[in-house]
Structure 1
Amino acid sequence: MIGERAEDRTILRLSGADAHGFLQGLVTRDAGEGLTYSALLTPQGKYLADFFLLDRGDDILLDVKSDIARAVAQRLGMYRLRADVTIEEADLPVARGLGDMPAGAFADPRDPSLGWRAYGVAGGDPVTDWTALRVAACVPETGVELTPNDTYILEAGFDRLCGVDHKKGCYLGQEVTARMKHKTELKKGFVTVSVDGTAPVGTAIMAGEKPAGTLYTQAGGQGIAYLRFDRATGPMTAAEARVTWKK
C-alpha cells in the first residue's frame, strides 16, 4: 500500500466503556461498518465540524482537519461529564489514493471519485489534484465553504455526501435538521458551477443587479458556489468571471 500523504489531518482516538454511546448522542451519523462521514452541530443545528469515524471495536478513530482538531477535542470534552471516555490525539498518519483499494483501506463515503483512505500508513508525496476532485464532486471544506456556527449541513449537501442519518437516535441539532429535511424546501445551498475566468474565494455572485450567492473554491473551470436557487436561473457573474449553473 502506498497512496498519498494527507498532510492536513489529525486523528483523535476515543476509547472507554462509554465511547460508542457518547458519540451516538452527539454526531449526525454513527460510526458503523467501514468509514463513516459525520458532523458535530450546535444545539441550534448549525455546523461546528465534520470528520470521518472509524470504529475499531475497542476504540473509535476520528479523522479531522488539523486546523480544528483541538477545538473538536475540547468541544467533545465539554459533553463528556462523567462518561467513561478518553479523548486523545493519536500519532497515526493518514494516506489516501485513487484506483483499486488496497487491503486495510476504506472507501471515502462522501463520493466514489474521492477514492480511499488508510490509517497508520505514511503515504507518498501528494501528486493528485484533490482540490479539483473536491470541486467536481461539490464537497465543501471547513474553513472555506463550511463556516462554524453559520452553515446548515443540509444546505451543504450532507444528505448527498452520506454525512447525516435521519433515522438514527437523537443528536445535537437534530430537531432543526429534521425540520429542514421534512418541513421546508431548500432555497439555498452549495452546488458546482462552471466558471469562465477566476475570482477570489468569497466573491459575491450577481444575477444582473441582484445578489445570487457566493463563489468559493475553483479548479479546472469549475467552482463551488453557495447559491440562492431562485436567482440562479440564468447568466451570472463573480467579479470579472462568468458563472453558470446547470441543475
Structure 2
Amino acid sequence: MIPTWKEALGATGARFNDSRNPEVDSFGDAAGELAAARDATVVAPLTHLGVIRVGGEDAKSFLHNQLTSDINHLAADGAQHAAWCSAKGRMLASFVVWRDGGDYLLALSADLQAAIAKRLQMYVLRSKVTVADAGLALLGLSGPQSPAALQAAGLPRPEPMKSAAADGCAVIRIDDARQLIAVPAERAAAVWAALAGTARPVGLPAWRWLDIRAALPLISEATKEHFVPQMANFERIGGVSFHKGCYPGQEVVARTQYLGKVKRHLYRLRSDAAMAAGDELYSEAVPDQSCGMVVSAAASPAGGHEALAVVMELAADAGIRLRARDGANAAAAAVAA
C-alpha cells in the first residue's frame, strides 16, 4: 500500500488490519458500513487491489496473446474483465482492463501484483513492451448517489464497462451501480475527500460483500491456479473470448467450453461461521476429496457471512462443510446465468 495514502486514510479514521498488505477494516462502524453498502452510496479504499501498466508499441498484441479476453478490440473508452492462465488453463490472476492512450492498465489482487508483473516481463522477450507498477490508488464508489458524488469530485460517469478520464484520473464503471476510480497516488486524499462529501466511507469488507452480491470473483494468492475460467463464471462476464487466437491455456479453456465437461461452478455460500478465500469445502456427496474452495468472503448485512465459492454440482445440494468434514455448515445457491 502506498505509504502516503495509508497516512491520509488513517487521518480520516480508517482502521487497518495487520495483514502483510494492510487493508481498511472499517471507519469505526463495521455493521453500519455494511448496511450502507446495501442501501446507500458508499466509497471504499480498494487497498486489496493493485494496478499494472503495460505500455510500448507492442502492448496490444502482447496482451492479446497472453490474456483470455479480446484486447485487440478493446476500444479507447472500453473496459473488460480478463484472466491470465497457466498452460493447464488455470487462472493465475483476474483483471479489470482499461486503456490510457496507448497503454493498458490491469487492476488485480494486490497480493499478486509483483509476481504477475515479473512473470509478464519474462514473456516480453524482443517485443517493445514495458511492464511496471502504475503507481495508482483505487477507490470504489457504489450506490444511487454515485452520479452526484462523481460530479462533486469533478469526475465523469461512463456507461457500464466503459472508462472515462478527467484531470489525470480514470473512472471505470464495472456494473450499473459501481465504479472503480484510478487516481494518481499524490491526489488520492483530495479525490477521496471530494467523494466522501456525498458517499459514506466504508471499509473493504463492505466492498467485498458488494462483489459477492454482484457475483464478481477475484483471484488472489490464496486461489491462484485452482480454477479454469468457466469454474469462476468468467465467460459469463465477458472475461473470455472464444473467437481469438492462442494464449496460454487456450486449448484447455476451449475444450472445457465446447465439450461441457466442467463439473464445478460458482455458487454463493451463506454460513454463520466466517469464511476466507482459499478455504477448502467438503461434502458427504464427495467422500474422497474436497468439493470446492472459497473464492472471496465477507460479513453480510443480514447477519452471518457470505462468500463466492467454486463447488462441485453434486455437492451443492447435499450440504457443504467449511474447512473440514465436521466443519460448520454452509448453504449453497447457484449464481444465476
TM-score by length of 1: 0.85
1:3 Cα offset (Å): 4.2
- The answer (yes or no) to whether the contact 2:67–2:84 under 8 Å persists in 1 is yes
Q: What corresponds to 1:190 in structure 2?
A: 266
Instruction: Give runs of aligned pairs for residues 52-201 of structure 1, distance below 5 A.
Output: 52-99=96-143, 100-101=146-147, 102=150, 103=156, 104=164, 105-108=171-174, 111-112=175-176, 115-120=178-183, 122=188, 123-124=191-192, 126-127=201-202, 129-143=206-220, 147-195=223-271, 197-201=272-276
Unaligned stretches of 5+ residues in structure 2: 1-41, 151-155, 157-163, 165-170
1:180 Cα offset (Å): 0.1
Q: What corresponds to 1:28 in structure 2?
A: 68
CA deviation profile, 1:200-243 (whole Å, cap 9, x unmatched): 54253323784672463253243323321123224444345332
Q: For the residues of structure 1 that align with 2:327 and 2:275, how far apart are their CA atoms?
A: 10
1:161 Cα offset (Å): 2.7
Q: For the residues of structure 2 that align with 1:39 and 1:209, how far apart are their CA atoms?
A: 29
Q: For the residues of structure 2 that align with 1:205 and 1:230, how far apart are their CA atoms?
A: 12
- The answer (yes or no) to whether the contact 1:48–1:148 under 8 Å persists in 2 is yes
Q: For the residues of structure 2 that align with 1:185 and 1:152, how far apart are their CA atoms?
A: 11
CA deviation profile, 1:115-158 (whole Å, cap 9, x unmatched): 111222625385060121222333333237x6223321111111
Q: What corresponds to 2:328 in structure 1?
A: 241
Q: For the residues of structure 2 that align with 1:183 and 1:63, how far apart are their CA atoms?
A: 31
User: Structure 1 or 2: larger helix share?
Assistant: 2
CA deviation profile, 1:151-173 (whole Å, cap 9, x unmatched): 21111111123211122222211
Q: For the residues of structure 1 that align with 2:309 and 2:318, how far apart are their CA atoms?
A: 15
Whether 1:14 and 2:42 are equivalent positions in the alignment is: no
SS at match of 1:53: strand
Report the CA distance shift for 1:91/1:184 in structure 2 as closer, same or farther (over 3 A). Answer: same
CA deviation profile, 1:53-93 (whole Å, cap 9, x unmatched): 11123211122222111111111111111111111212222
- The answer (yes or no) to whether the contact 1:12–1:89 under 8 Å persists in 2 is yes
4+ residue runs over 6 A deviation: none
Aligned residues: CA RMSD: 2.6
- The answer (yes or no) to whether the contact 1:11–1:63 under 8 Å persists in 2 is yes
Q: What corresponds to 2:12 in structure 1?
A: none
Q: Among 263, 275, 291, which residue is 1:213 paired with?
A: 291
Q: What is the percentage of aligned positions where both structures have the same residue?
A: 26
SS at match of 2:104: strand
Report the CA distance shift for 1:21/1:132 in structure 2 as closer, same or farther (over 3 A). Answer: same
Q: How many residues were matched structurally?
A: 241
Moved more, 52-61 or 221-230: 221-230
Q: For the residues of structure 1 that align with 2:123 and 2:215, how far apart are their CA atoms?
A: 32
Moved more, 67-76 or 203-212: 203-212
